Chain A
Amino acid sequence: MKAIVLNGIGQADRNLDYVGGIAADELRGHGCKVESTILRDLAIAPCMGCFGCWVQTPGICLIDDAAREVTRKMIQSHLVVYLTPITFGGYSSDLKKVLDRSIGLISPFFTRINGEVHHRKRYAQAPKLLGVGIAHEPVGEGARIFKALIERNAINMHNKAHAACVVSEDQSATEMHELMRAALHELGIMS
């Protein structure tokens, strides 16, 4: 199983990098071939909102930078991991920058899912999605919003399964491993 970790830990939060290592170890322990991408190290321009990835070069962003390769790897993986400090309940700007650039992975055309309008699939198979949020405290409003965001993203990006786990800075590595393991099991990924 191929897994890509989109590490959205920003420059100011580098002290949290060890959480990326814990996630990668846990994934390897579950038989995944892991590729970790440190997004802060990549030159990725923000989305221009032009929809060129839908109507000019369908499926490929017009901006030719590192986001194209990251996006390609996302759709070619079995599991995508969003690793991020929980930022006001959502993702860091480093992670969000690549996600904004990934909408070419879905179709512009509308469809209806559970009574709501969303965009159709482009690819027959989308990867499973695991959100790993790093919070100042594990239970709270930020964690609730983060989990809701992962759920909404999974609907819109047609991820075939999704789970979110929230770890906090004051937890031990063992506790973090346990939380990530539980989330992987929720996704049907067993060691």
Chain B
Amino acid sequence: MTTEDQRVLLLVGSPKAPGRSVSEALGCHVIEKMEARGWSSRTIFIRASLQSDGGQSTLLNAASNADLILLSFPLYVDSLPAPVIRAMELIAEHVLRKNARLVAIANCGFPEARHNNVALDICRRLADAAGLEWAGGLALGMGGALSGKHLRDQGPMAGKIIESLDLAVDALVGGESIPDEAVRRMARPIIPAVMYTAIGNFGWRRQAKRYGVKGKLNDRPYQP
């Protein structure tokens, strides 16, 4: 099989609309770099695909035909978003291409990238269950500092993320797993944690003010 025959499938795990999620921005960077290396690609938004039988079939067929499945998702309650787990349940029951590989990129809104570790363990178990080769995972903290724009348009904050992803692409197109250096660079804080949390806390108040509920942010509507 030539490089041109290689197919990568990007599964976007964020429920946000196309163009709005960090998960998509991270995945798209990888896809573009792999296309430049002769791979063909396909992108599927998991939440939308699960809303119809046709969408599910499309997802499963794309997974069956992929040489590399790239799962990019936001961390939800220490794990993967429910629709992503549903997709994993379906994929694990499906016949996939022999020697196909799975790689995952997890991003979270906490400063520390290690919050993603359990979720990446779950992805690795999916690979085992589905007969995929686990090609490694990347964990990003401070996802709240980024947006859905293309990474190259997100300024210097995206610099080490791009470096990490480029290292990962080099390895993946060569048939290798994500190298430790890519994992380290991705996990490095974008800005100091104290600054990130201060900006984050300010941001919650600002958003609440926009909706006229600034004084209600600590309400307890279900207090017995």
Query: A100 contacts the other chain (Cβ, under 8 Å)?
Result: yes
Q: Identify which of residues 170-222 in chain B touch chain A, using a CB-to-CB cut-off of 8 Å.
A: 193, 197, 200-201, 204, 207-208, 210-211, 213, 216-222
B residues less than 8 Å from A88 (CB atoms): 85, 88, 92, 122-123, 125-126, 129
Chain B nearest Cβ from A12, distance in angstroms? 8
Q: Which among B76, B123, B217, B224 is the interface contact of A107 at CB below 8 angstroms? A: B217
Contact flag A156-B77 (CB < 8 Å), given A87-B89, A117-B193, A141-B125:
yes
**Contact segment of B26-34, B60-68, B110-118, B154-162:** B110-118
Chain B nearest Cβ from A157, distance in angstroms? 8
Q: Mark A77-104, 1 if CB is under 8 A from B, else 0.
A: 0000000000111111100110110110
Query: B82 contacts the other chain (Cβ, under 8 Å)?
Result: yes
Q: Which among A59, A93, A100 is the interface contact of B220 at CB below 8 angstroms? A: A59
Q: Which among B21, B110, B121, B208 is the interface contact of A55 at CB below 8 angstroms? A: B208
Q: How many A-B residue pairs have CB under 8 A?
A: 144
- For chain B, the count of residues having a C-beta within 8 Å of the partner chain is 51
Chain A contact residues: helix, strand, loop or mixed: mixed
Residues of chain B having any CB pair with chain A under 8 Å: 14-16, 21, 47, 74, 76-83, 85-86, 88-89, 92, 110-112, 114-115, 118-119, 121-123, 125-126, 129, 193, 197, 200-201, 204, 207-208, 210-211, 213, 216-224
Residues of chain A having any CB pair with chain B under 8 Å: 10, 46-49, 51, 54-60, 71-72, 75-76, 87-93, 96-97, 99-100, 102-103, 105, 107-110, 116-118, 122-123, 141-142, 145, 148-149, 152-153, 156-157
